[in-house]
Structure 1
């Protein structure tokens, strides 16, 4: 594989997927609507990534360029590329689906019968499968069978903390990332040969890893943020270094972890070590990750298939402990941020409808359940 088109030239796109691809000697074309960013990338064709863990190092990513994702140029790139990846956010997948569909149609018109694989690298469950449904809505039905044969829509699970960049004015392309990264793909969904990209792991049981990340990193991250907000902490590191918050977060991850162990047969000791690794990542002194960034969009995070409610439903299914998860959900209901429309909407609903009805509306939980009663009790004590 030689070429990739990557939608999303933001910090995650440049610092995570774009870097892994470029490090594997893939020529990466970023596609984005941010014209100044596109101009800078296409002019410099390289950028710096500061990788921070126990030590810091700065890598230079090369063999990259960029095009505007609303232009015909990106469609022409899709005609010739081997791989399409995304890091645009779940809400933007639907917007880029038409562009990808047009690229696939033009690709077939040009007689390109080489396999094309598409991987949505988003913070969502089966994001590429969702993207496929959207792409097919814009793709002529007469081309669906050919797309089924030649285009692989590969689901993935991604994990890397990439906080907003604090780049100096003289280097707006620079980005900082943690040293840990995980990109796991469903090997059963590729068309043609699976590309050899160091850092991209293959599995035939993707959902186990999707839920492991969702129930551990995502669950712990947002509970850290919401509890941190309540105690006036500014960053995730400050919050997780608060002993009371760390104890609650660790307990919540063990509660969600019990669901994973029972559902997928994860080794208990290895999973406990994974939890400890996540906690150490939150405390990384080189990452400045604000609690408001992690806590934003609380309504999405309270969805029945997302990081708070889905593990809770698992504890109900298996009859296991969930007190710390319930506290995290109560803390999410307390989240206030006038710059976040979802936070404003959530607070309005709480004022107008009360806690139990709001929970029912956004989470699907039964208003008469003991879990809702306990969340309300905790809410009133926070």
Structure 2
């Protein structure tokens, strides 16, 4: 079978690639980096190393690559594929919509009854595949959309694997954590689909997506923002501090209470899931920089993302939100000068005030009870951060 994967970054090579390779897919990466493209074409394989004591390594074989700028070649690859996947970031899906539309168009032209094609956006968010569909379909003719409804599917998915930014002499080598999880909404698949080894197909995807987003992503960024306030450089250093660990655990206990109530989860099993996720954050074989995990605070503080959304839902259910409020306040303090969103956030606070930012960026009106609590906690966190950080502010930024 053939797969086309958009994105030859660490997630694409370190997560999606190995799973598809284990299911005997030939993988064509669609990428921008000329060096990676030429290496993938020449070598046809690359190493993936697990971040464990023995550094177990496997070769992902039967791979090649094409340049995203060569739309004809990309379209031809899609026309011949059984599966299309992405790992490029939700905001970049718009950039590949035309290539996918041209591939679908070419596929439909080649035969009256093309083989089924599944297009799966393996992104860190909710409803990525359907969002991609909404970007692709307007680029198709009405007659093509009708046929695509029959032969092309965009099932939503949830993916989870931590792959930090890293540098190796081999531009294709990638190190990943041993844990990984890939869940696909079964109802979104076309009849007779071939299962991918290691992927779980479920009737209801929402519980898995929210459990992951509001445990792994919420916990990870909370550790980063709390750690940044205390002057740490890596997630591992921050979590090693019992104070930070308990702050993060407090956040996850609050999201856990919300998730358990909303999705009728087994509370004991979810507690075990939380502890397992916290253990992942402490992996001593990784150097996971806080500035990487904390980056793009405006996106992470948006109304439907990993901090504000669970806080609003928990509050609506009458549940505790003290630790979530503290995490949101810590994110509002994040001021790393090399992060464009952090700079924009701090400029907005200075220009308009914290109340304006909470209402306009976080989407929490000043009439909502969480608004004043976040503002008060921000003032407290900002004062504490400034008093501790001023002596070595230049070295930190």
Q: With the length of structure 2 as denominator, give the TM-score of the two structures.
A: 0.94
Distance 1:94 1:351, change over 3 A: same
Q: How does 1:45-64 map to 2 (within 5 A)?
A: 45-53=44-52, 55-64=54-63
In the TM superposition, 1:1-382 aligns within 5 A as: 2-53=1-52, 55-71=54-70, 72-111=72-111, 113-168=114-169, 171-382=170-381
Mapped contact 2:75–2:100 kept (Cα < 8 A): yes
Unaligned runs of 5+ residues in structure 2 are 382-397
Aligned counterparts of 1:136 and 1:307: Cα–Cα separation in 2: 29
The separation in 2 between residues aligned to 1:320 and 1:296, in whole angstroms, is 28
- Give the C-alpha shift of residue 331 in structure 1: 0.3
CA RMSD of aligned residues (A): 1.0
Q: Deviations over 1:196-224 (max 9, x none)?
A: 22221101110111100011000001111
Distance 1:273 1:351 in 2: 42
Shift of 1:92: 1.0
Q: Which moved more, 1:110-119 or 1:303-312?
A: 110-119
1:134 and 1:109 map into 2 onto residues whose CA distance is: 21
- Alpha-carbon separation, structure 2, partners of 1:54 and 1:317: 44
**Per-residue deviation, 1:36:** 1.4
1: CA distance, partners of 2:60 / 2:134: 33
Between the aligned partners of 1:139 and 1:38, the Cα distance in structure 2 is 29
Q: List 4+ stretches of structure 1 deviating above 3 A.
A: none
Residue by residue, what CA displacement relative to the aligned partner does 1:136-159 show, whole Å, maximum 9, x if unpaired?
Answer: 121112211101111010100010
Offset from partner CA, 1:272-324 (integer Å, 9 cap, x none) = 00000010000000111111111111111011110001100111121000000
Between the two proteins, the alignment pairs up a number of residues equal to 379
* TM-score, length-scaled by structure 1: 0.97
